[in-house]
């Protein structure tokens, strides 16, 4: 936001008799300096949680260019660790300092700075790291050094990091203003803008039922349909809010975000890959995948399990049946590395069908170790 605008807004709020004690903003220091100079020298500033997290994530992605082991999966893990740590140490700068030290060490198997309340490796050192590659701690010493150096930079800001604010409420309000005064239409020059913004404020404060109050105040009947719709919309909003804080919904949000941020780790996209020259063959694989997914949903609750086994190169007579010489040359992977034996796939089938009856093995991807997709 422009500094002039912030100053103008705070001045306007103060002139209407409200006090502004703290501003939550990004780390642009000139805005707060201007505010202190021209409005109130005692005004406090809190950093915005999302900006801080974004800066840390950017710093990690910059390190990625130097360290091969710092994959998106590892970065995601580190960001998660930092998020948890910052949430747990609000108003506790010492805790943030300690936590930053722990984030630089914990992924490498050093738990000296970890706390028993969140690090289960402290009691069981051989426990798997379920979110790190191969379930094992990282071993890259240069990476650890760089990560520790990065954490040292943030340690100096522990005071600030222990008092983070959020501008999420503003974002949501911006969205509702934009729904009433879309940016694609020029409303700022018309008198209707004030009414549109006022309607957004009323909706934020009172919910959709503000319409009934407005109608009453100007001497109109609230309107049966308006009233019914306003009550329904408020009910829906309350329901959405109640659902959004449930564990299930939080997990769903994380999954959706991961799918958006890390599309390559989305297995379906990765596996379902078309190969030039094998268009029909590729199509059949997509078909089986889709069929299995739909069937699994359809038979859910009936006791039937649907497993989709996706083998890589297997030593079968398939290629010898082809009369297409080009396809034979291009896709006979048997010479490049040791490929799978039919028994390897049979073992996968055996694994799927011998699980306890409450276990659904939905997909198994088996590939030669030296020829991953």
Shortest Å, Cβ 100 to Zn ion: 13
Quote the tokens at residue 180: 């009433």
Q: How many residues bind Zn ion (CB under 5 A)?
A: 5
When binding is defined by CB under 5 A, the residue of 45, 49, 76, 111 that contacts Zn ion is: 111
* Residue at token pair 């089938």: 349
Shortest Å, Cβ 111 to Zn ion: 4
Residue among 120 and 236 whose Cβ is closer to Zn ion: 120
Cα(106)–Cα(124) distance, integer angstroms: 13
User: Where are the alpha helices (H) located in 224-341, listed in sequence order?
Assistant: 224-244, 247-261, 267-271, 279-298, 318-321, 325-331
Cα angle for residues 126, 132, 137 (degrees, 5° grid): 45
Residue among 23 and 81 whose Cβ is closer to Zn ion: 81
Shortest Å, Cβ 185 to Zn ion: 54
Shortest Å, Cβ 250 to Zn ion: 23
Residue among 49 and 111 whose Cβ is closer to Zn ion: 111
Residue among 119 and 327 whose Cβ is closer to Zn ion: 119
Shortest Å, Cβ 225 to Zn ion: 59
Residues 6+ apart with CB under 8 A from 283: 274
Shortest Å, Cβ 152 to Zn ion: 19
Residue among 103 and 177 whose Cβ is closer to Zn ion: 103
Shortest Å, Cβ 21 to Zn ion: 38
Helix (H) or strand (E) holding 22, with range, is strand 22-25
Q: Is the Cα torsion angle 313, 318, 320, 325 positive or negative in sign?
A: negative
User: Where are the alpha helices (H) located in 67-191, listed in sequence order?
Assistant: 72-88, 93-105, 141-155, 158-161, 168-180
Shortest Å, Cβ 324 to Zn ion: 55
* Residue at token pair 């020059």: 189
Residue among 126 and 191 whose Cβ is closer to Zn ion: 126
Which residue from 147, 96, 131, 100 is spatially nearest to 254, judged by alpha carbons? 131
* Residue at token pair 């006090």: 19
Assess 106 for contact with Zn ion (CB under 5 A): yes
- Residue span binding Zn ion (CB under 5 A) among the ranges 83-91, 103-111, 231-239, 266-274: 103-111
Residue among 7 and 119 whose Cβ is closer to Zn ion: 119
Contact positions with Zn ion (CB under 5 A) in 112-131: 114, 119, 121
- Residue span binding Zn ion (CB under 5 A) among the ranges 110-118, 125-133, 169-177, 358-366: 110-118
Shortest Å, Cβ 66 to Zn ion: 25
Cα(176)–Cα(204) distance, integer angstroms: 8
Residues 6+ apart with CB under 8 A from 275: 281, 282, 331
- Residue span binding Zn ion (CB under 5 A) among the ranges 111-119, 133-141, 157-165, 365-373: 111-119
Looking at the DSSP bridge assignments, the partners of residue 364 are 309
- Residue span binding Zn ion (CB under 5 A) among the ranges 100-108, 123-131, 337-345, 350-358: 100-108
Residue among 76 and 106 whose Cβ is closer to Zn ion: 106
Which residue from 190, 233, 198 is spatially nearest to 217, judged by alpha carbons? 198
Residue among 99 and 368 whose Cβ is closer to Zn ion: 99
Binding footprint of Zn ion on the chain (CB under 5 A): 106, 111, 114, 119, 121
């Amino acid at each position: 936001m422009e500094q002039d605008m912030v100053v103008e807004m705070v001045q306007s709020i103060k002139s209407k008799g409200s006090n502004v004690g703290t501003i939550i903003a990004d780390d642009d220091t000139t805005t707060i300096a201007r505010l202190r100079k021209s409005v109130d020298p005692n005004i406090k500033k809190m950093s915005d949680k999302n900006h801080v997290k974004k800066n840390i994530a950017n710093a990690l992605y910059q390190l990625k260019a130097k360290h091969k082991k710092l994959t998106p999966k590892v970065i995601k893990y580190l960001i998660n660790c930092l998020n948890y740590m910052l949430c747990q140490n609000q108003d506790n700068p010492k805790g943030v300092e300690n936590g930053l030290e722990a984030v630089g060490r914990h992924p490498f198997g050093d738990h000296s700075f970890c706390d028993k309340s969140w690090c289960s490796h402290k009691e069981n050192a051989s426990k798997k790291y379920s979110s790190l590659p191969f379930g094992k701690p990282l071993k890259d010493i240069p990476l650890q050094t760089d990560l520790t150096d990065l954490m040292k930079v943030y340690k100096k800001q522990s005071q600030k990091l222990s008092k983070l604010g959020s501008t999420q409420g503003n974002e949501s309000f911006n969205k509702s203003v934009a729904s009433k005064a879309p940016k694609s239409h020029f409303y700022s020059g018309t008198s209707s803008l004030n009414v549109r913004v006022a309607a957004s404020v009323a909706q934020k404060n009172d919910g959709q039922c503000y319409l009934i109050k407005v109608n009453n105040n100007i001497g109109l009947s609230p309107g049966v349909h308006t009233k019914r719709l306003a009550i329904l919309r408020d009910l829906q909003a309350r329901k959405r809010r109640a659902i959004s804080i449930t564990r299930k919904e939080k997990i769903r949000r994380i999954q959706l975000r991961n799918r958006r941020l890390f599309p390559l780790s989305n297995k379906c996209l990765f596996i379902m890959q078309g190969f030039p020259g094998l268009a029909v063959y590729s199509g059949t694989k997509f078909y089986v995948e889709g069929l299995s997914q739909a069937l699994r949903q359809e038979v859910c609750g009936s006791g039937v399990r649907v497993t989709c086994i996706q083998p890589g190169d297997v030593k079968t007579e398939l290629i010898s049946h082809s009369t297409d010489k080009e396809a034979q040359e291009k896709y006979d992977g048997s010479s490049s590395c040791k490929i799978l034996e039919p028994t390897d796939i049979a073992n996968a089938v055996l694994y799927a069908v011998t699980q306890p009856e409450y276990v659904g093995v939905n997909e198994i991807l088996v590939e030669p170790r030296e020829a991953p997709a």
